[in-house]
Amino acid sequence: MTLLLITRLLALVGLLFAVGALAWRWRRTVQRPLPVDRSLAKGSPQQGVTYAFTLGMAPWAKESTRIHRIAYLRGIAFHVGIFAGLVALLISPWWDLLPDLASWLLIALAGSGAIFGFAGEVMRRAEHNLRALSTADDHASVLLVSLFLTAVTVALIVPTWMPVMYAVGAVMLVYMPLGKIRHCIYFFFSRRFFGLFVGRRAVVHVEVTR
């Protein structure tokens, strides 16, 4: 059995573990009741949920992103790179069939994601408030994902690096439901909870026009 096949199987095991564990966490979270809002409803909760998943994520919707535009854009680029890296990992057995344009697009997105990921880690260590708030899990998650994106980028350019990509990907996938990376599923619950609250309280129009 070759090193490539062994690491590919490890990545597959990691993927199955991540999907199963995240599905379990999703089910457990769905089963938990929402806090009861005993105030009188003044607006539409559904309108609030719609806002939370659309304009509520725009950079001008929150003070933290309005005054930190560069950090916001860095985060967007990092997450776009993550999606590109995961897509590249999933279709890696068929890379030879990809048009050159698609390959270079994945390289550009994953590579820039890696750069912005490491930049985020530097920011966590350099900025006083971020350094105080960051935990070991924060650092491990950002570094692990950034290393994965680096491995994907290099493997797309130099295919002999594919075993490294699979090995790093396997570790990241196993860590995903155990560490901070699992926020990829809790994001949907937090946005829905926020939307239900602002919609019921009829403050959506305030957020939109501010």
Q: Where are the alpha helices (DSSP H) in 91-157?
A: 100-126, 128-133, 136-157
Q: Catalogue all structural domains in the chain, each as residue range(s) with its CATH number.
A: 42-209 (1.20.950)
Tens digit of pLDDT per residue, the chain (210 long)?
A: 699 999 999 999 999 999 999 999 999 988 888 777 777 778 888 888 888 888 877 777 776 666 677 888 888 899 999 999 999 999 999 999 999 999 999 999 999 999 999 998 998 888 888 888 888 999 999 999 999 999 999 999 999 999 999 999 999 999 999 998 998 888 888 888 888 888 888 776 544 444
* Farthest-apart Cα atoms in the chain, separation: 65
* Predicted TM-score of the model (pTM): 0.83
71 neighbors 123 (Cβ within 8 angstroms): yes
